[in-house]
Amino acid sequence: MTSQHAEKLAALRLQLRKHGLGGYLIPRSDEHLGEYVPASAARLAFISGFTGSAGLAIVLSDKAAVFSDGRYTLQLQAETDRDLWERQHLTEHPPEAWLQANAAGLKIGYDPMLVSAAFLRKFDHCNMEAVAENLVDAIWLDRPAPPMTPAVALDEMFTGAASESKRARLAADLRSNGQDAALLTDPASLAWLFNIRGEDIEFTPLALGFAILYADASAKIFMAPEKMPAPTRIHLGNQVTVNSRETMAAALAELQGKTVRYDGDTMPVWFQTTLVAAGAKISAGPDPVSLPRACKNATEQAGTRTAHIRDGVAMARFLAWLAGAAPSGAETEISAAAQLLAFRSLGERFKGESFPAISGAGEHGAIIHYRVSPESNRPIKANEVYLIDSGAQYLDGTTDITRTVWTGPGPAPADIKAPFTRVLAGHIALAEAVFPAGTTGAQLDSLARAALWQAGLDYDHGTGHGVGSYLSVHEGPTGISKTARPVPLQPGMILSNEPGYYLENAYGIRLENLILVQPAAFPDTKQKFLHFETITLAPFDRALIEPALLSSTAIGWLNVYHAKVRLMLAAHLDPVNDAKTLAWLAQATQPI
Amino acid sequence: MTSQHAEKLAALRLQLRKHGLGGYLIPRSDEHLGEYVPASAARLAFISGFTGSAGLAIVLSDKAAVFSDGRYTLQLQAETDRDLWERQHLTEHPPEAWLQANAAGLKIGYDPMLVSAAFLRKFDHCNMEAVAENLVDAIWLDRPAPPMTPAVALDEMFTGAASESKRARLAADLRSNGQDAALLTDPASLAWLFNIRGEDIEFTPLALGFAILYADASAKIFMAPEKMPAPTRIHLGNQVTVNSRETMAAALAELQGKTVRYDGDTMPVWFQTTLVAAGAKISAGPDPVSLPRACKNATEQAGTRTAHIRDGVAMARFLAWLAGAAPSGAETEISAAAQLLAFRSLGERFKGESFPAISGAGEHGAIIHYRVSPESNRPIKANEVYLIDSGAQYLDGTTDITRTVWTGPGPAPADIKAPFTRVLAGHIALAEAVFPAGTTGAQLDSLARAALWQAGLDYDHGTGHGVGSYLSVHEGPTGISKTARPVPLQPGMILSNEPGYYLENAYGIRLENLILVQPAAFPDTKQKFLHFETITLAPFDRALIEPALLSSTAIGWLNVYHAKVRLMLAAHLDPVNDAKTLAWLAQATQPI
């Protein structure tokens, strides 16, 4: 590893000299600034060896540093060479401070397609210079080709609205804002707006590309034309043209004198620079798809409910299987995750996992973003806590569920049942919350934590994230967390409800269902209220529940939920082939 | 009224011409930008007739407008002349938009001592001009003299810390921030820092003045020297000089080349302009007193506990008296408030009310900021809801309490008991909350609302405000409300806990105790947790409680609280003279 990465650094430093730069900045993200990147854009991993999902490298002529956050402290140490790289914490020792200390005044190059204007603002005090050519690509001789999977149409029976009507609605919004066009740089926005899906990256069904939506509801997609088979082009219709990536700058130049909506927080700064140079007027505003995509229509809501029945059936078969298999100690974190995937694969419309399953036995459950590998894999033992956080992509919906179980056969100890029940109490408090329209996720976050707080416990992650409809399992623009996000919760939004508790080196507890925001009906009230419909269907492990720690309303919620789980799933299980699962389900959903 | 205000407007318009202005802006606040103003600074009331606590007038040569918020819609109509004034809503039709529509391009004058830089920023698009002379004062022939009450020392037995040590602590903070001096423009900051109190305005024991605190812990107070009797000067010591208001500009000029802490949100813009003109460097930062003042020391905490016993005794006598008097219908909103004040006046160290009591029977209770007047006064009738929100200033603490009672003698109807109990459930949920250090009030706000939200109910005000120690009953820098304030809750802070519910034209419910932030001890946890100690002592009306709507932990909290109220207050009531109160107290605090 060492010599290979040393050679890469030497080659990149030659590029620095060639371009008259003192340093170069390599972010983790690709030009869509999203969570997952294809192999062709894994530049941070190529140059440094670090494969985590958040990070950044800076290479100077005489030193280099690679940054990531607390989730990846150990992985950063393991994957990068200490002789070549300073390993730093993104927020505790941020790159902008590192540059000030180590490269004051030096010209630092960056690729303007890979950073947002908001990101760049942190480096205001530095001497930053956009470089048109990507210097990592210049030295990356065996760089994989960009993904070339076909974009295919997603049927209206799943999307519930034709692209034409979506574009008409968004175009009307542009016109009412005095905007002539909007940029779309998030492939999930293209997927939603044009009702297309692809397989360019793992876990999220995206076809990578950009688009411009015009105020007359026409649009230009910028994507390799060979990714658009004839049926997809027919599906797109006459108002949408498919153009090669290379024509994008020219299309932006045609916006001279026009007002273009652009989000400096989420879009590459290259678009801003190019538009301004072309004489277009920038109108700051969020991606116009972001909010409508989050508010699922009736078809998408119905789809996700049926997808969750299939996912619940897989979970029931898995949990029943695990209840039988776990006490023997013969299964491992990897084999259990594989078994769950096998059960899911039987489901109609199943397309794959929505993220790499977190399968953590005992102390591994306490690693919040644990990803089991052949090296870390360990048996699931008798009488311990096992946590599995997983999800699937179905044509009609995306799922994400976490269950924490006691493997038995002995009874769970009281000191584990207590925090488990407090996590459950928080989960239920959020699930049964009613709240006025206009409320943000940040305002509800404490409801999920209060029961843990009462015992001096907490969890160091958000309570919930948005979830797409056969799209990204992490979707904006809202969330439920301590950090305030300005967009209020609105009907049709799907979020996760996943409080947890983690005892380092011992165990992890997380209980996650997806919840759908719905109007709440109060005949006597003028003010509009909302509530959550829980759409995930799987029992919570009764062996870990201490009823004395739940309020009577919480016990009532749990019993009603379990009865619903039994009713909904049993109807989809086969009396003969699923006899064991049915027997397990009947027992697992008994009232408390 | 009409002709008098027409004459004033005519006189002011002469001033506009004299100064070459197209208009003039008259805010409600005085030069301390606080909540209450002395009669000498009631310029908005003088010019417009409007006496509410929030507002603003703009006078042009041909028209004039006066703005206030939703609390004062009716009062604004009643107190101002429609022939002279457009009456507008501060946020729905903000003054900056009104100016743009009615005075585009015109030069608008303002007094830079009466507005903050942040306020002025809203008028960036207008042609605003600072005018040294206040034009209202120029035409205010019978303007009252500024208050001249003496500033007196507050004993260390109440403050718990000498001014010298407070100044040393704040000066160290200035030095560590590289600041040479800090401005103090809030009289409550002077009161805390120098351990002085005055009687310049109603309800809050302030001596109006300004100060500069220097990084060597010395200070200059700017206040009429005749307000500083010899004992106070001796108390202040050699490091603090008292200077006339007229010397303040010169003292600021001496800061040439120095770095001065200044808060553009809360301080008059005049200070910024003057400092910049003098060649001083502005360092943006909050009033350095604001946070230490909010975190009460052990002496102040002990003081407020004993003040709350005295206040609780007065409340118990009042509520016992009311229980006997109310069913007859012979008492009124005014007579009841007077009776409560009479009971409070018997208390040791009592100095006055901390704000005008809100005494609202029936439908008046639904007016959140109701202030009873001889015109609005009405009898308190049998079998209705009566709300009283009041507080007192004691030398050792400030109180603020709201109770809502059923006047009887009949039983309270179920449709009033239900919302009352939900308000109580929210009050208790907040009172018994435990939360990690770093949590803000906004994060806890929903705990107080969740029980109401469940029934489609809410209240349109904050849940809690900071309370001073023998100081302002509304004190920063924290609060508990939907609106996020960045400063987290910290040990020693005193806040109100006052959820409510209001049914227009029918009744109002509000239940308010003061709560004191305390560390919570969890031996096994590394993370620091906090909780609230409830310091207000008075029963909640059991006649309005529906126990089925309370959780068992909430009932437990209530019974423990009532037992504590009985124990603490009975010890301070006289078995003979207070026999009736004691009997009432025993009944009112029975467990549920």
Residues of A near B (Cβ–Cβ under 8 Å) read 429, 432-436, 439, 442-447, 449-450, 453-458, 482, 484, 520, 522, 524-525, 527, 529, 551-553
How many other CB atoms sit within 10 Å of the CB of residue B87? 19
Among B422, B430, B457, which would you mutate to test the A interface (most chain A Cβ atoms within 10 Å of its Cβ)? B457
Q: How far is A281 from chain B (nearest CA, A)?
A: 21
The verdict on a CB contact (< 8 Å) between A524 and B456 is: yes
What is the pTM for the complete model shown?
0.93
Q: How confident is the model at residue A526 (pLDDT cuts 50, 70, 90)?
A: confident
Q: How far is A136 from chain B (nearest CA, A)?
A: 41
Residue A436 with chain B: CB contacts under 8 Å = 453, 458
3-state SS class at B142: coil
Q: How far is A433 from chain B (nearest CA, A)?
A: 7
Averaged pLDDT, B365-373 = 92
Residue B436 with chain A: CB contacts under 8 Å = 453, 458
Query: In this structure, are residues A421 and A517 in contact, taking their beta carbons and an 8 Å threshold?
Result: no
Return the residue matching tokens 């698009």.
B125
ipTM field? 0.90
Beta-strand (E) ranges in A355-411?
358-361, 385-390, 392-394, 397-398, 401-406
Residue B8 phi/psi, 5-degree rounding, is: -60, -45
Region of B585 on the Ramachandran plot (φ > 0 left; ψ -120 to 50 alpha; else beta): alpha
Averaged pLDDT, B355-370 = 95
Q: What is the pLDDT of residues A163-218, one digit of tens each?
A: 999 999 999 999 999 999 999 999 999 999 999 999 999 999 999 999 999 999 99
Q: What is the pLDDT of residues A548-592, one digit of tens each?
A: 999 999 999 999 999 999 999 999 999 999 999 999 999 999 999
- Name which of A384, A312, A319 is nearest A541 in CA terms: A319
| Separation of alpha carbons A577 and A584, rounded Å | 13
Query: In this structure, are residues A203 and A36 in contact, taking their beta carbons and an 8 Å threshold?
Result: yes
The verdict on a CB contact (< 8 Å) between A529 and B442 is: no
Return the residue matching tokens 């809801």.
B385
Averaged pLDDT, B546-559 = 97
Q: How far is A311 from chain B (nearest CA, A)?
A: 30
Region of A195 on the Ramachandran plot (φ > 0 left; ψ -120 to 50 alpha; else beta): left
| Separation of alpha carbons B375 and B332, rounded Å | 12
The verdict on a CB contact (< 8 Å) between B450 and A429 is: yes
Lookup: tokens for A309: 């029945």
Residue A453 with chain B: CB contacts under 8 Å = 433-436, 529
Lookup: tokens for A301: 């809501």
Indicate the Cα dihedral angle B151, B152, B158, B160, nearest 10°.
80
Query: What pLDDT sits at residue A133?
Result: 95
Q: Which residues contact A318 (CB under 8 A, 6 or more apart)?
A: A336, A339, A340, A343
Q: Is the pLDDT of residue A383 over 60?
A: yes
Q: How far is B94 from chain A (nearest CA, A)?
A: 21
Averaged pLDDT, B274-294 = 97
Residue B435 with chain A: CB contacts under 8 Å = 446, 449-450, 453
Averaged pLDDT, B182-188 = 98
DSSP B313-358: HHHHHHHHHHHHHGGGT--BHHHHHHHHHHHHHTSTTEEEESS--E
Q: How far is A196 from chain B (nearest CA, A)?
A: 39
Query: What pLDDT sits at residue A74?
Result: 85
- Name which of B143, B147, B106 is nearest B127 in CA terms: B106
The verdict on a CB contact (< 8 Å) between A446 and B435 is: yes
Lookup: tokens for A162: 């034709």
Q: What is the pLDDT of residues B515-536, one digit of tens each?
A: 999 999 897 778 899 999 999 9
Q: DSSP secondary-structure letter at A364?
A: G
- Name which of A45, A43, A32, A33 is nearest A245 in CA terms: A32
| Separation of alpha carbons B472 and B493, rounded Å | 13
Helices and strands (DSSP H and E) totals, chain B: 19, 28
Which residue of chain B comes nearest to A483, CA vs CA?
B443
Q: What is the average pLDDT value for chain B, to the nearest integer?
A: 96
The verdict on a CB contact (< 8 Å) between B520 and A434 is: no
- Name which of A397, A411, A414, A420 is nearest A350 in CA terms: A397
3-state SS class at A42: coil
Residues of B near A (Cβ–Cβ under 8 Å) read 429, 432-436, 439, 442-447, 449-450, 453-458, 482, 484, 520, 522, 524-525, 527, 529, 551-553
Q: Is the pLDDT of residue A512 over 60?
A: yes
Q: How confident is the model at residue A494 (pLDDT cuts 50, 70, 90)?
A: very high
Query: What pLDDT sits at residue A2?
Result: 55
Query: In this structure, are residues A174 and A213 in contact, taking their beta carbons and an 8 Å threshold?
Result: yes
* Apex A11 CA angle, A5 and A15, nearest 5: 140
Q: Which residues contact B513 (CB under 8 A, 6 or more apart)?
A: B401, B427, B431, B496, B497, B498, B534, B535, B536
Residue A489 with chain B: CB contacts under 8 Å = none
SS3 content of chain B, % helix, strand, coil (to 5): 40, 20, 40
The verdict on a CB contact (< 8 Å) between B456 and A442 is: no
Q: Is the pLDDT of residue B1 over 80?
A: no
Q: What is the pLDDT of residues A109-126, one digit of tens each?
A: 999 999 999 999 999 989
SS3 content of chain A, % helix, strand, coil (to 5): 40, 20, 40
Query: What pLDDT sits at residue B357?
Result: 97
Averaged pLDDT, B559-577 = 98
- Name which of B393, B362, B358 is nearest B512 in CA terms: B358
The verdict on a CB contact (< 8 Å) between B446 and A446 is: yes
B450, B484, B525 member nearest A456 (Cβ): B525
Return the residue matching tokens 């107070």.
B221
Among A443, A480, A522, which would you mutate to test the B interface (most chain B Cβ atoms within 10 Å of its Cβ)? A443
* Strands B56-60 and A107-110, sheet pairing: unpaired
Q: Is the pLDDT of residue A264 over 70?
A: yes
Query: What pLDDT sits at residue A156?
Result: 98
Q: How confident is the model at residue B2 (pLDDT cuts 50, 70, 90)?
A: low
| Separation of alpha carbons B88 and B64, rounded Å | 11
A445, A456, A529 member nearest B453 (Cβ): A529
Residue A117 phi/psi, 5-degree rounding, is: -60, -35
| Separation of alpha carbons A177 and A159, rounded Å | 26
- Name which of B309, B314, B317 is nearest B578 in CA terms: B317
Q: What is the pLDDT of residues B460-519, one digit of tens each?
A: 999 999 999 999 999 999 999 998 788 999 999 999 999 999 999 999 999 999 999 999
Amino acid at position B460, single letter: D
Q: How far is A520 from chain B (nearest CA, A)?
A: 8
Residue B439 with chain A: CB contacts under 8 Å = 446
Q: Is the pLDDT of residue A1 over 70?
A: no
Chain length of chain A: 592
How many other CB atoms sit within 10 Å of the CB of residue B243? 18
CB pairs below 8 Å between A and B: how many? 78
Q: Which residues are A197's β-sheet partners?
A: A152
Measured CA distances, B348 to B111, B204, B206, B352, B398 (Å) = 43, 18, 20, 11, 13
| Separation of alpha carbons B61 and B17, rounded Å | 8
State the sign of the Cα–Cα–Cα–Cα dihedral B582, B583, B588, B592. positive
Query: What pLDDT sits at residue A484?
Result: 76
| Separation of alpha carbons A412 and A422, rounded Å | 15
State the sign of the Cα–Cα–Cα–Cα dihedral B37, B40, B42, B44. negative
Q: Is the pLDDT of residue B45 over 90?
A: yes
Residue B456 with chain A: CB contacts under 8 Å = 434, 520, 522, 524-525, 527, 529
Lookup: tokens for B10: 């005519």
Q: What is the pLDDT of residues B403-450, one digit of tens each?
A: 999 999 999 999 999 999 999 999 999 999 999 999 999 999 999 999
Query: What pLDDT sits at residue B36?
Result: 87
Query: What pLDDT sits at residue B526?
Result: 80
Q: What is the pLDDT of residues A218-243, one digit of tens each?
A: 999 999 999 999 999 999 999 999 99
